[in-house]
Amino acid sequence: MKLEISLNELHNKIRVEELWLWGKIIGTDFDYFIAMGINYKNHYEFPEKTFYYATSMDYVFNSLPDTLAQHIPDMKKHSYAMLKGDPKVILENYEEAVDPESAEAKEKENQAEENKDKKEEDLLLLDESVDQEVKPVEKRLNFSELSKLSFIVKAIDYDTNIFPKGAFRLLPIHEIRKNDTFKGLKQDELLDIKNYHYFRPISTQKRKEIIESDEAIFRFDFLDCVDEDPVNGCWSMQLDSTKEIVNIYFYIIINNC
pLDDT by 10-residue block (mean), the chain, 257 residues: 93 94 96 97 94 95 95 94 95 67 55 59 43 54 95 94 94 92 91 93 87 83 88 85 89 56
Interval 104-141: pLDDT, tens: 555 556 666 666 555 555 544 434 433 444 445 467 89
3-class DSSP assignment, residue 200 = coil
In whole angstroms, how far apart are CA 233 and each of 122, 229, 256?
66, 10, 19
Question: Which of 221, 172, 178 shows the shortest CA–CA distance to 40?
Answer: 178
The pLDDT of residue 215: 80
Please check whether residue 89 is in contact with residue 145, taking contact to mean a CB–CB distance below 8 angstroms. yes
The pLDDT of residue 43: 93
Average pLDDT of the residues of the chain: 84
Please check whether residue 144 is in contact with residue 85, taking contact to mean a CB–CB distance below 8 angstroms. no
In whole angstroms, how far apart are CA 200 and each of 39, 52, 154, 190, 223?
13, 18, 11, 21, 8
Report yes or no on whether pTM surpasses 0.75.
yes
The pLDDT of residue 132: 42
Whole-angstrom distance, CA of residue 131 vs CA of residue 124: 9
The pLDDT of residue 104: 54
Interval 147-181: pLDDT, tens: 999 999 999 999 999 999 999 999 999 999 999 99
Per-residue burial over 65-104, b if 16 or more Cβ lie within 10 Å, else e, is eebbeebeebbeebeeeebebbbeeebbeeeeeeeeeeee
